[in-house]
Chains A and B, each alone.
Chain A
Amino acid sequence: MHAATKQHDFEPKIVAFVCTWCTYAGADLAGTSRMQYPPNVRVLKFPCTGRIDPVFILRAFQKGADGVLVSGCHPGDCHYMAGNFHARRRFAAFRALLDFVGVDLNRLQFSWVSAAEGGKWVDVVTELTERVRTMGPMPEFKELEHEEQWSGAINTPELKEAYDSIG
């Protein structure tokens, strides 16, 4: 049985932030070549990896992503000349920050996948999915999201009561 169709206890949610020129096209090529990979990945398309704000990655973790992939053109191939270089620097710094706050960096991957590398896209996605699967779910950030809700909306009876008591 193929890896993609095996039934598992835990299906990780993988979010991929990709550039439209290289990796999105590479993923298209994987499709036209009828390659197979785990269906856990959800792709968000950007014009360039340079457009990807680290906040998006944090938000994805908060919204239940167990692993995040950022992928764009190889160095020197950027459609916009230098966007991927900016992205590379930004994520080098961002990874260090995530490491500092205690996120296992194995959940975050940065890979170059060109429009001709359908096979590489399949490998990268499969590898990340399987790796995150063995790591299990990532609850920390999801809990953070609940905290954020507390600070904003008054949506629990306890909070409502507390607010009412203040008068």
Chain B
Amino acid sequence: MSRIGVFVCHCGENISRTVDVEQVAKAAGEIPGVAFSCDYKYMCSDPGQTLLKKAVAEHKLDGVLVAACSPRMHEKTFRKAAEAAGLNPYLCEMANIREHCSWVHEDRDMATAKAKDIVKLMVERVRKGKSLAPITVPVTKRALVIGGGIAGIQAALDIADAGHRVVLVEREPSIGGHMAQLSETFPTLDCSQCIMTPKMVDVANHPNITLFTYSEIEKVDGYIGNFQVTVKHKARSVDESKCTGCGICMTKCPKKKIPNEFDQGHGMRPAIYVPFPQAVPNTPVIDRENCTMFQSGKCGVCAKVCGPGAVDYEQKDTFTVEDVGAIVVATGFKLYTIDRKPEGSPIQGYGEFGYGTIPDIIDGMTFERLASASGPTGGKILRPSDGKEPKQVVFIQCVGSRAREKGISYCSKVCCMYTAKHTMLYHHKVHDGQAYVFFMDARTPGKGYDEFWRRAVEEEEAVYIRGMVSRMYQRGDKIVVMGSDIQVGVQVEIEADLVVLATAVQPQDGADLLAQKLGISYDKYNFYSEAHAKLKPVECATAGIYLAGACQGPKDIPDTVSQASAAAAKVMTLFAKDKLERDPVVAKVNEKYCVGCFACKKVCAYGAIEEKEIRDRQGNLIKKVAYVNPGVCGGCGTCQATCPSKSIELDGYTDEQIMAMIEAL
């Protein structure tokens, strides 16, 4: 590099006020190898950029240094200008003499001296710089969506509608997730099934969507644009290709008294079952733990009654490898079960509330099932213990949520609204009943949300008591709820027939294990972490993986759907190009000197380093060396600082460049 151009910017007066820019330009011109130097009032302006382009042509410059503001501000601008002038953009650098010099020093002489030094250092960097070409990696235009709740369904449909193929993987026998369990949804009281099931059917019928239910993610390899995902298809014991969904097996199954998970254990199902009538796919699955055939080897009724012969007791788990270019994680949430303290967790249960021991203390999702027309009570609000209609119902908010002393400090976000909804549903179904709500705050941000909450209080006559409950116990067939009303400043005691707890929203079981397979980060509660809380709320720090829904943090349906569509849009952006272009600041191995110790492999946080075999013409192994996959490399350079033989180098930050800068100190 011998013909470098240095352009010193005044930045109006921002730099020239404390730095003598003419002197800096003059000093730069005297550095060996600098062919041209000048100063200009606004380098970033159009005339400034034209000046740069002209100088490159006139003086045949082969490197450019702009001494101006922070590279974080205008590096892209000047690299583009350099590129337009026919230079490789990576041969254009910036010397930061504004943020790091003129703005932070008052003494003109010292600031000028420092600016000269900064320019001197950066000239060395330009001198030792290399032309770099952007790295391109091919993109497999097929997406994987993990989780078949509303988030996964929305993301899958959006991507599929854009014309890309989608693989949707769901752990349960049917898609639908928690939204399918809900009775009606706030703030409009739409029937959840009515708006959810058509979308489920769309997924099943969409030509671009491959649906794998009762399946889990086993392994994830690869990187953005090129993931290889191993999917485990759990044995359903029913051949999906043969089953017609007639359901005769379910009616004939002799074992019918198994608590139905979909109804929160309040309804019953047979051992061969679909979770709920509108399930997609409508293919039953055999619950092997409860099936007589699997437990004792005697029965086989379902196989005998099945016309198409779809029941297959010999079926085994199978695995497929799916090639995808992007992954949307939409694994959703579960509700905090407060009766048991999860093993090895700092979270403490609410033994004092009697949940799990007093049958008429239920959680919010169970209330949804009681209120649902397809639920175990056919939509009648009947309490679990004796099937009577409860006349006094107490709702308790923030059970688990916002309770630091119990181990969860976050707000679960949806409970204020769904409790208000529950009081309405209750009032609509039990006209002479009274609903009480113990609450800390009513948090109702959202379109039409506060109006909805006010309706619950003002029109539907729910009594809101600000305060928490200290204890609940059974007295006869009533539950005595002892709490405080902190607004009035008195202790209150309510004899309730039914108590509904708005328990905290938590990530799904195994969320951490899935995150480890995907290589994405998660917080201390196991919620997945986004790349930036405000500006990258959908992306994971791991390129090519996106988040949708409550797996990232508690979310209501509108937010979940918005985020799912946003994730889909991100996937489509990725798929819009055939090749993926990325910054070429990646490590490269000098295979001649690499001894194959793989110290670099141990420190690489991206798993970008692979073992490569070098063979002679006869195919004999000569040695193993490291190979950096440029598509995966993040460009941190930790490998280079670690390499004992200095045979791995980070482009853009080579030892030669840095040493040259230090030499110029």
Contact = CB atoms under 8 A, between A and B. Distances in A.
Tell whether A and B belong to one assembly.
yes
Interface of A: 2, 4-5, 13, 15, 24-25, 27-28, 30-32, 34-37, 39, 42-48, 50-53, 56, 59-60, 63-65, 78-83, 86-87, 90, 122
Contact of A42 (B117, B585, B636): B117
Given A39-B111, A51-B653, A64-B665, A28 B100 contact: yes
B640 interface: yes
Nearest to A35: B104
Contact of A39 (B114, B121, B641, B661): B114
Interface string B654-665: 010011011101
Given A36-B106, A60-B662, A43 B100 contact: yes
B636 A32 contact: no
Nearest to B637: A51
A145 to B, nearest CB: 10
A52 to B, nearest CB: 6
Contacts of A51: 636-638, 640-641, 650, 653
A86 B638 contact: yes
A54 B665 CA distance: 17
A105 to B, nearest CB: 20
A60 B653 contact: no
A31 B98 contact: yes
A39 B105 CA distance: 6
Contact of B100 (A31, A46, A81): A31
Nearest to B635: A47
21 contacts: A5-B110, A24-B70, A28-B72, A34-B104, A37-B104, A39-B107, A47-B635, A48-B637, A50-B603, A51-B636, A51-B638, A52-B641, A59-B659, A60-B662, A80-B605, A80-B636, A81-B541, A81-B606, A83-B636, A86-B641, A87-B638
B605 A47 contact: no
B99 A28 contact: yes
A13 B121 CA distance: 14
Interface in B61-88: 70-72
A59 B117 CA distance: 17
B636 A47 contact: yes
Contacts of B662: 15, 44, 56, 59-60, 63
B72 A36 contact: no
B599 to A, nearest CB: 11
B122 to A, nearest CB: 10
A53 B640 CA distance: 8
B103 interface: yes
Contact of B118 (A13, A28, A42): A42
A55 B521 CA distance: 32
A45 B72 CA distance: 12
A32 B99 contact: yes
Given A44-B658, A48-B637, A59-B659, A30 B585 contact: no
B103 A31 contact: yes
Interface string B603-625: 10110000000000000000000
B376 interface: no
Contacts of B230: none
A36 B661 contact: no
B72 A44 contact: no
Given A31-B98, A122-B104, 10 more contacts: A15-B662, A27-B100, A31-B99, A32-B103, A37-B105, A47-B585, A52-B641, A53-B641, A80-B636, A82-B638
B171 to A, nearest CB: 27
Nearest to A115: B72
A95 B635 CA distance: 26
B18 to A, nearest CB: 10
B642 interface: yes
A46 B605 contact: no
B603 A39 contact: no
Nearest to B542: A81
Contacts of A4: 104-107
